[in-house]
Amino acid sequence: MTAEEIKAEVERINWFHQIDLGHGIVTPGVDESAKKLEKIGLPPDLKGRSVLDIGAWNGFFSFESERRGADRVVALDSYCWGGEGPGTKEGFDLAKRVLGASVEELEMDLMDLDPDKVGQFDLVLFLGVLYHMRHPLLSLERVAAVTRGQLILETHVDLLDLKRPAMAFYPGVEVCADSSNWWGPNPPAVKAMLESVGFQRVEMVDCSRGPVAQALRKLRPTFKHRERLVQGRAVFHAYKD
């Protein structure tokens, strides 16, 4: 494809990830994907390892894992690829074609994950998915079953001021006016859930309040919706030792 043809294809797709397609073209996603790499702690060298990217959508982290030398990368999605979510599979397909990537594709619901069907992976990426799951602990059981080595989990978190494990339930559109956001676990809850599904070692490697929440903290005495002051994002590394 020529640069002009790639640009034309990019412009007609709704992007989430920002993917460098070469030719000076970066997809116009709202997610600053490359900036997340250091925060989530994706290993710089993945040679000899297999990777499963759950909730791949446009595939930035799948393609980056392949670029870092992974022997096998499987991108899994159903919500967006199946047309139920805000995006489609078109972005993934275009990026894979332009990049000449060999990432495998698996359109499957997370709840159907089974090591007998898909095998196990040295590294599983579970980024921005947990809080969308109606049954978070059961979801983590499915994820743990296909994780042979390490899991990298990134998620929305809530109730950051509580030291005991707890989760906020969002029955409507309380978070970002998005009805697919169901839960806001706090870090102790995420850690406890991961341990309960079989990860022997769990480390929180990053936790930060969202930019809106940080700004509103100054208004704590007068701000009506206090729960917004204790939300953010967190990253966990969990291991099967």
The tens digit of pLDDT for each residue in 102-150 reads 999 999 999 999 999 999 999 999 999 999 999 999 999 999 999 999 9
- Residue 149: how many CB atoms within 10 A of its CB? 15
The Cα–Cα gap between 227 and 59 comes to 32
The Cα–Cα gap between 224 and 75 comes to 42
- Structure-model confidence comparison of residues 19 and 87, the more confident one: 19
- Judge whether residue 212 has pLDDT over 50: no
What CA–CA distances, in Å, run from 47 to 71, 112, 194, 224? 6, 28, 26, 51
Nearest CA to 153 out of 175, 130, 121, 185 is that of 130
Cβ–Cβ < 8 Å for 217, 195? no
- Confidence band, pLDDT 50/70/90 cuts, at residue 223: very low
- Confidence band, pLDDT 50/70/90 cuts, at residue 85: confident
The count of residues in the chain is: 241
Q: What is the pLDDT of residue 214?
A: 44
Q: What is the pLDDT of residue 173?
A: 78
Q: What is the pLDDT of residue 83?
A: 77
**Pairing outcome for strands 20-22 and 25-26:** antiparallel
Q: Which H or E run includes 22? A: strand 20-22
The Cα–Cα gap between 108 and 54 comes to 10
- Judge whether residue 220 has pLDDT over 70: no
Q: Which H or E run includes 149? A: strand 147-157
The Cα–Cα gap between 179 and 202 comes to 29
- Lowest mean pLDDT across 97-111, 157-171, 213-227: 213-227
- Judge whether residue 172 has pLDDT over 90: no
The Cα–Cα gap between 75 and 61 comes to 9
- Confidence band, pLDDT 50/70/90 cuts, at residue 86: confident
Model confidence, pTM: 0.91
- Work out the average pLDDT over 144-168: 96
| Average pLDDT across the chain, whole number | 91
Using DSSP, state whether 100 is helix, strand or coil: coil
Percent of the chain, pLDDT > 90?
A: 82
The answer regarding whether domain 32-239 maps to CATH 3.40.50.150 reads yes
Q: What is the pLDDT of residue 159?
A: 94
Helix axes 136-145, 187-196, angle to 10 degrees: 50
- Judge whether residue 226 has pLDDT over 70: no
Residue type, 52: L
